[in-house]
């Protein structure tokens, strides 16, 4: 009996071992099949972000083609579609637009799949405001207007009447009082103070995006030693090129007719084009904007300097509120446009065009070796 029992036990052990091997082989085959199936699946497409006022090209998953473009076109965000990919763009940014999820069919030689793409709009870049040091003296006790256009505001979406400028940091009231209007930074050094002060500014675009805080450094000097060279005017936006006479831009010419004050720096316009004439007149050409601002730096024969500005308002609009109200405000709605951030692609194209033109000239004169 014992030998029989031992033989049965040995047989069961062998059978059990065979079953274990079979199970192991089956598991390995299943894992291999799953891995093979996974390798055939395209990667999850995830989110497609459409640049502000730009476009993005999206390629189909490697080894697959898009079987039907209709769902993509139905989103209103896809402008071109082919089996190998699609192009999405948006002419404007809508802060209330929710991401759009769209199911797209993909196929290869043996597999047909349905995958989700999520299309969303990217907001414009946040505004930018650089640090600035005012290279002129402010008279103690005198109110000085600094044109906002000279501070280098850059913003993609800062509509006059919607975007804002804010004072974030101001010197102690015993040094320089600071406030803003929609067109100027207003600085008033307290009587008897001479020295420097720092004012923190930032701009807020139409979407509520804030720039970093920029520092404007101002210098105060005794007012008795600084002549009154500032002159700030408003005009309606012209429909064509105009020439602003020197009497409207260089203060001493209008007051004394001596010609002792001249333009030493032509700051130009934000959106239009400005050319400063040697005698003080400024030629201005509008370029589509409803408002604008030009500024210039002037100096007298002793070297004292001041700022002048002309702020253009929309034709038919009421004159802007006082350029420097008696009571200052720490924030104001912008009334002038801001500069647009530089277009890197356009700059690269201009550089390439300039290089090509130079190469052509060198070829013509035989200067190349």
Query: Could you report the per-residue pLDDT of 274-322, keeping only the tens digit for each?
Result: 998 877 788 999 988 889 999 988 877 777 778 889 999 888 777 776 5
How far is Cα of residue 92 from the mean position of the Cα atoms in its chain? 14
Domain match, 62 and 192 both: no
User: Quick check: 16 pLDDT over 70?
Assistant: no
Domain match, 188 and 84 both: no
Distances (CA, A) of 201 to 152, 155, 212, 345: 12, 14, 8, 30
On whether residue 223 sits in a domain, the answer given is yes
| Residue 326 pLDDT | 53
Domain match, 196 and 81 both: no
Q: What's the rounded Cα separation, in Å, for the pair 278 and 166?
A: 36
CB-count burial class (<10 Å; 0-12, 13-18, 19+) for 207: middle
- Each residue of 146-165: pLDDT tens digit? 999 999 999 999 999 999 99
Residues 347 and 171: beta-carbon distance below 8 Å? no
CB-count burial class (<10 Å; 0-12, 13-18, 19+) for 45: middle
Domain match, 276 and 149 both: yes
Average pLDDT over residues 121-131: 94
| Residue 158 pLDDT | 94
User: How many domains, the chain?
Assistant: 2
Indicate if the alpha-carbon torsion angle 244, 250, 255, 261 is positive or negative.
negative
| Residue 4 pLDDT | 36
| Residue 216 pLDDT | 95
| Residue 342 pLDDT | 79
Domain match, 180 and 293 both: yes
Per the structure, the complete domain to which residue 92 belongs is given by: 47-121
Average pLDDT over residues 185-211: 92
On whether residue 149 sits in a domain, the answer given is yes
| Residue 343 pLDDT | 66
Domain match, 79 and 192 both: no
Average pLDDT over residues 350-359: 41
Domain match, 335 and 272 both: yes
Domain match, 73 and 148 both: no
Phi first, then psi, for residue 31 (nearest 5°) are: -65, -40
How far is Cα of residue 177 from the mean position of the Cα atoms in its chain? 30
Three-state secondary-structure class, residue 27: helix
Q: What's the rounded Cα separation, in Å, for the pair 301 and 299?
A: 7
Write down which residue in 121, 156, 174 finishes a domain: 121
Domain match, 158 and 258 both: yes
- Each residue of 167-188: pLDDT tens digit? 998 777 778 989 999 999 999 8
Within 13 Å and on the Cβ side, how many CA atoms surround 352? 6
The per-residue pLDDT of the chain, averaged, comes to 78
Domain match, 154 and 83 both: no
| Highest mean pLDDT pick, 89-93, 120-124, 228-232, 257-261 | 120-124
On whether residue 140 sits in a domain, the answer given is yes
Residues 126 and 209: beta-carbon distance below 8 Å? yes
- Each residue of 38-87: pLDDT tens digit? 444 444 557 899 999 899 999 998 899 999 999 999 999 999 999 999 99
Q: What's the rounded Cα separation, in Å, for the pair 89 and 55?
A: 4
Three-state secondary-structure class, residue 322: coil
Does the global pTM surpass 0.95? no
76: which 2 tokens? 């209103």
On whether residue 352 sits in a domain, the answer given is no
Three-state secondary-structure class, residue 52: coil
Determine what percent of the chain is predicted with pLDDT higher than 90: 41
On whether residue 37 sits in a domain, the answer given is no
- Each residue of 205-218: pLDDT tens digit? 999 999 999 999 99
Strands, E assignment, 16-84: 47-50, 55-59, 65-66, 78-82
Domain match, 171 and 235 both: yes
On whether residue 357 sits in a domain, the answer given is no
Phi first, then psi, for residue 149 (nearest 5°) are: -65, -20
Q: What's the rounded Cα separation, in Å, for the pair 91 and 95?
A: 13
| Residue 289 pLDDT | 85
Determine what percent of the chain is predicted with pLDDT higher than 70: 73
| Residue 324 pLDDT | 56
Domain match, 153 and 63 both: no
On whether residue 7 sits in a domain, the answer given is no
Phi first, then psi, for residue 159 (nearest 5°) are: -80, 130
Q: What are the residue ranges of helices labelled H in 181-286?
A: 251-256
Residues 121 and 157: beta-carbon distance below 8 Å? no
52 vs 226, higher pLDDT: 52
| Residue 165 pLDDT | 95
């Amino acid at each position: 009996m014992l030998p029989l029992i031992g033989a049965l036990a040995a047989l069961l052990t062998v059978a059990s071992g065979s079953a274990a091997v079979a199970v192991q082989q089956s598991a390995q085959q299943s894992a291999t099949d799953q891995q093979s199936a996974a390798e055939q699946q395209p990667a999850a497409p995830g989110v497609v972000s459409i640049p502000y006022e730009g476009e993005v090209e999206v390629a189909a998953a490697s080894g697959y083609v898009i079987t039907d473009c209709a769902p993509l076109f139905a989103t209103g965000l896809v402008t071109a579609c082919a089996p190998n990919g699609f192009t999405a763009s948006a002419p404007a940014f809508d802060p209330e637009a929710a991401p759009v999820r769209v199911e797209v069919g993909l196929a290869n030689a043996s597999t047909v799949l349905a995958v989700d793409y999520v299309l969303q709009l990217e907001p414009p870049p946040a505004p930018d405001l650089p640090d600035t040091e005012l290279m002129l003296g402010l008279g103690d006790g005198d109110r000085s207007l600094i044109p906002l256009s000279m501070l280098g505001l850059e913003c993609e979406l800062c509509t006059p009447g919607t975007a804002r400028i804010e004072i974030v940091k101001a010197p102690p009231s015993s040094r320089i009082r600071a406030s803003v209007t929609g067109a100027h930074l207003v600085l008033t050094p307290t009587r008897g103070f001479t020295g420097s002060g720092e004012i923190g500014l930032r701009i807020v675009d139409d979407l509520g995006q804030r720039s970093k805080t920029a520092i404007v450094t101002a210098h105060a000097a005794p007012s008795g030693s600084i002549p009154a060279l500032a002159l700030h005017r408003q005009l309606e936006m012209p429909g064509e090129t105009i020439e602003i006479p020197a009497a409207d831009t260089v203060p001493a010419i209008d007051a004394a007719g001596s010609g002792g004050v001249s333009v030493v720096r032509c700051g130009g316009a934000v959106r239009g084009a400005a050319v400063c004439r040697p005698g003080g007149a400024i030629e201005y050409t509008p370029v589509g904007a409803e408002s604008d601002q030009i500024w210039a730096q002037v100096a007298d024969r002793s070297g004292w300097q001041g700022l002048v500005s002309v702020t253009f308002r929309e034709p038919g609009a009421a004159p802007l509120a006082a350029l420097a109200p008696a009571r200052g405000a720490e924030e104001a709605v912008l009334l002038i446009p801001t500069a647009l951030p530089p277009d890197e692609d356009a700059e690269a194209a201009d550089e390439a065009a300039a290089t090509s033109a130079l190469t052509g000239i060198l070829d013509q004169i035989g200067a190349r070796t």
